[in-house]
Amino acid sequence: MKDTIAELEKFWELKGEKNVKMYIDDLSKFTFVPFIGSGMSVPFGCPTWSNFLSKIINDFFELSEREPLIDLLKKEEFLELADKLNDILGNGVVEEQVRNEFGFTDIKRVNKDRNYLSFLKNKSSINTFVTTNFDSVIETSLGFSADKIYLPSNLLKCNDIVDKIRHGESCIIKLHGTASQPDSIILTGKTFEAMYKRENTALQELVDYLWNRTVLLFLGCGLKNDYLVEHLQDLASTKKVNWHYAILPYPNETEIIKRRRELAALKIRPIWYEKGNHEQILIILNLITGDYGLQGSLETNEQKRSSELTVNVNNGNIGTQTMLNIKYLNGNINQ
């Protein structure tokens, strides 16, 4: 493991990503909420979102019809593509394919070096998981019962879930629904519009709470081209110190500047790993939770907890958001 950490550090140094270690240190000081994207379900046997949409194109369209759809797929215009598929195939057809592709419960067993879910549950105090995934990987892997799972269709009162998060109760928040209940799925522009563009919806309130009152760590998320990202950009534009984190593959050199700007607009600090080397995600999580120290230094979780209220972040000054997050997640701040 030490050799692997050294390789990762060498990669950061080579790319000039000197802030990565500071971001890892930031995250090690307080409880964060994992925000799980589709990339993290691939080891468990689920298709990527891109592969799922590609399968629909291949299964339902003749060769002569595919070109404009494939073009949207290549551009990663997934929401526009989903809308087009829905318009052509009719309401409910794409949701049915979601059920067929993501609704299975026979989750593939994953080796320890890639099972980030078990790691997060066993090595940290994390109880809340947020996801936009339709699959059942999180609940199946961690043994969550149905009453611990919240969907857009049963977000009756945002405060109910906020209280659970604040008091450390275990729950999974599936922001875009679940494959086993097609009527809960948020997939097309129309359903996104209803949930994110109208004022005072329960889902919008919950996302706003997560953004403003917790520290989010995005895992397996593309963070591109959908209404959720647009909503996060709106939230990010109103706060100067509200920053979150994401473990992401390092882009191609031709794309890195554009990617940095996109993430900066979202107030997200990237922790990069080598593209294609997904095992490094778990190494980074090890570093965040204190199992391994950077450059040979190892600080125990107990030492971190005792020092978390005096840690300096944000260029040497305790940030308002950081202090707020630490106190709030420990139940010391009331709304």
What would the DSSP string read from start to end of 211-256?
A: HHHS-EEEES----SSHHHHHHHHHHHT-SS--EEEEEEPPPTTTH
Spatial contact of 112 and 279, defined as CB atoms under 8 Å apart: no
> Cα separation of 253 and 322, whole Å?
32
Cα 201 to Cα 122: distance, rounded to the nearest angstrom? 34
Half-sphere exposure (Cβ direction) of 81: Cα atoms closer than 13 Å: 23
Q: Which amino acid is at 280?
A: Q
For residues 78 and 261, the model is more confident at 261
Strand 128-131 versus strand 244-249 pairing type: unpaired
Beta pairing partners, 49? none
Q: Determine the number of helices (DSSP H) and then strands (DSSP E) in the chain.
A: 16, 7
Q: What is the largest CA-CA distance in the chain?
A: 64
Provide the pLDDT for residue 322. Answer: 38
CA atoms within 13 A on the CB side of 198: 11
Q: Are 144 and 138 in contact (CB under 8 A)?
A: yes
Convert the pLDDT of each residue in 126-170 to its tens digit.
888 999 999 999 998 888 888 889 998 776 567 778 888 888 888
Give Cα 183 distance to the centre of its chain.
23
User: What confidence tens digit (pLDDT) does each residue in 264-278 have?
Assistant: 999 999 999 999 888
pLDDT (mean) for 100-112:
83
Q: E strands of the chain, at which residues? A: 33-36, 128-131, 149-150, 171-174, 216-219, 244-249, 268-273
- CA neighbor of 112 nearest in space, from 123, 124, 127: 123
Q: Which sign does the torsion angle of CA 282, 288, 294, 298 carry? A: negative
Res 85: pLDDT: 94
> What pLDDT sits at residue 225?
66
- pLDDT bin (cut points 50, 70, 90) of residue 10 is very high
Give percent of the chain with pLDDT exceeding 70.
Answer: 83
Question: Which has more confidence, 137 or 106?
Answer: 137
Q: pLDDT at position 49, please? A: 86
DSSP-derived letter for residue 271 is E
Q: Which two tokens stand for residue 309?
A: 């209220």
Q: CA 302, CA 288: separation in Å to the nearest integer?
A: 14
What pLDDT, on the 0 to 100 scale, is given for residue 304? 43
pLDDT at 331: 37
- Residue 202: the pLDDT is 77
- Determine the average pLDDT of the residues in 172-201: 82
What pLDDT sits at residue 118?
Answer: 80
Residues 245 and 27: beta-carbon distance below 8 Å: yes
Checking if the pLDDT of 303 tops 60, the result is no
Is the pLDDT at 33 greater than 80? The verdict is yes
* Residue 119: predicted pLDDT: 82
Residue 3: predicted pLDDT? 65
- Phi, psi for residue 142 in degrees, rounded to 5: -105, 0
How do residues 65-88 score in pLDDT, each as one tens digit? 999 999 999 988 888 899 999 999
| 247: confidence class by pLDDT, cuts 50, 70, 90 | very high
Res. 95: pLDDT tops 60:
yes
